[in-house]
Amino acid sequence: MTEIRLFVPPPLARGATIAASPGQAHYLAAVMRRAIGDTVLLFDGRTGEWRARISGLSRKAAMLTVEEQTRPQAPESDLWLLAPVLKRETTEWMVEKATELGVARIVLTTSAQSAVTRTNPDRLAAIATEAAEQCGRLGVPEVVPPAPVARVLAGWPPRRHLLLADESRAAPPAHAVIAGAAAGAWALLVGPEGGFTEHELDGFRKLPFCLPASLGPRILRAETAAVIGLGLIQALAGDWQDRPGGRPHDAATCEGKSEDVRSVGG
């Protein structure tokens, strides 16, 4: 039986007793049919992963007693995604996949041709948390509420490359752009369903940190471009190499949970 993984905010340590959130308690008792004495894996984004035993459980409350560390905290990828706000289901899917691909920060953006400009930040944070629980990550990405892309880029940090998914067909292929860039942190910028305007693209291309790149000969949906671009960055300049502290891919860790997003927090 695959052990359940849960993200918990308090610092974890051997012997600590953690109160699960009501949503997590319901998930353990009613959805996964766990009982007192069963074990779960806990992580908090700071102290690694720990095995805990269920010491109290009802459909509304659960107590978890931490027993041993199973993995020390290890550095995670410092990859960012500047993601367009799309329809609710599509935005949620993109946040989930970006989390699985190791993104550390998801910055939601709006631009001239954005058809949607609002999101539910709490729900997106919960989706990112569930995705991190499922795929074996030791941390949960930050999801930043929507802001105009020009405002986001105005405060851009130095030495962070920004790969721009450019549909103009004049940009060089992404793999060549990534391989040819100097060492440094990366971010990916993807446009909305209607794409960026020529005025916006001209402004982006003038930015010293912006690297326009083609993601292939076909026009991609925004969410597809996000997945492809992130995959290329991770494969060529990211964390897709074996390293100490990492967990081998295990399909069992990414099994789907209940479709209802559980509440998070202590």
pLDDT over 90 (residue 106) = yes
Is residue 151 over pLDDT 70? yes
Distance CA(193)–CA(113), nearest Å, equals 8
Reported pTM:
0.89
Q: Give me the torsion for CA of 61, 65, 70, 71, rounded to 10°.
A: 70
CA dihedral 159, 165, 167, 171 (to 10 degrees): 40
Q: Which regions of the chain carry the CATH code 3.40.1280.10?
A: 79-237
Predicted local confidence at residue 185, as pLDDT: 96
Distance from C-alpha of 15 to C-alpha of 63, rounded to nearest angstrom? 12
Instruction: With beta carbons less than 8 A apart as the criterion, state whether 114 and 82 touch.
Output: no
According to DSSP, the residues that pair with 7 across neighbouring strands are 43
How many whole angstroms separate alpha carbon 153 and alpha carbon 112?
15
Of residues 252 and 105, which shows the higher confidence score?
105
Whether 142 has a pLDDT exceeding 80, the answer reads yes
> Structure tokens of 111?
């631009």
Q: What angle do CA 43, 16, 134 make, to 5 degrees?
A: 20
Ramachandran angles phi, psi of 142, nearest 5°: -80, 135
Task: Please tell me the distance from the alpha carbon of residue 106 to that of residue 143, in angstroms, as a whole number.
Answer: 5
Whether 111 has a pLDDT exceeding 80, the answer reads yes
Residue-averaged pLDDT of the chain: 90
CA distance 53 to 3: 11
The second-level CATH assignment, the architecture, of 79-237 is 3-Layer(aba) Sandwich (3.40)
Lowest mean pLDDT segment, chosen from 109-113, 147-151, 247-251? 247-251
Average pLDDT over residues 144-170: 93
**Residue 42: what residue type?**
L
Taking 80 as the threshold, does the pLDDT of residue 161 lie above it? Answer: yes
Structure confidence at residue 162 (pLDDT): 98
Mean pLDDT across the stretch 236-257? Answer: 56
Region 134-161: what's the mean pLDDT?
Answer: 96
- What was the pLDDT predicted at 167? 83
Q: What's the pLDDT tens digit per position in 51-103? A: 999 999 999 999 999 999 999 999 999 999 999 999 999 999 999 999 999 99
Task: Report whether CATH 2.40.240.20 matches the domain 5-73.
Answer: yes
- CA pair distance 266, 23, nearest whole angstrom: 10
In which band, very low, low, confident or very high, does the pLDDT at 20 lie, cut at 50, 70 and 90?
Answer: very high
Q: What pLDDT sits at residue 10?
A: 77
Secondary structure letter of residue 39 according to DSSP: E
> If pLDDT is split at 50, 70 and 90, which confidence band does 37 have?
very high
Residues of the chain with CATH 2.40.240.20: 5-73
